[in-house]
Amino acid sequence: GNVALYHSNKNKILNFVRNYPTSILLKNLPLFLIRQVISTVYYLFQLNFSPIAGKIKAIRLLPKYIKLRNENLKKNMKNVKNVDRFIVHKEIMNSIIGKVKPISQD
């Protein structure tokens, strides 16, 4: 019960910050923050402090997760560049050898 609420509230915030692309994060940030405030008030009225403790823990871990996010974005940009190179290479190969139709599996 309370342990699960603690971790789900903590992880919801940290995953949002760490994993979403910047454009999606910024677009959804206002609604995300409003939901966090509403759920905090809800848990306060219920005198259920575990989820609030989870949110506080997430806020304390934010600097670490922002750093992880920046590292992930750099890695992902390298991966995107590698994929771009592969796609360009594939298109050149296709133009040289022509498209090969896959054998149907029926």
Q: Which positions of the chain have pLDDT values less than 70?
A: 79-106
Which pLDDT does position 98 carry in this prediction?
57
> What local confidence, expressed as pLDDT, does residue 68 receive?
87
CA angle 38, 40, 45 (to 5 degrees): 95
Please give the Cα distance from 54 to 103 (Å, whole number).
Answer: 53
The two tokens of residue 52 are: 């609030």
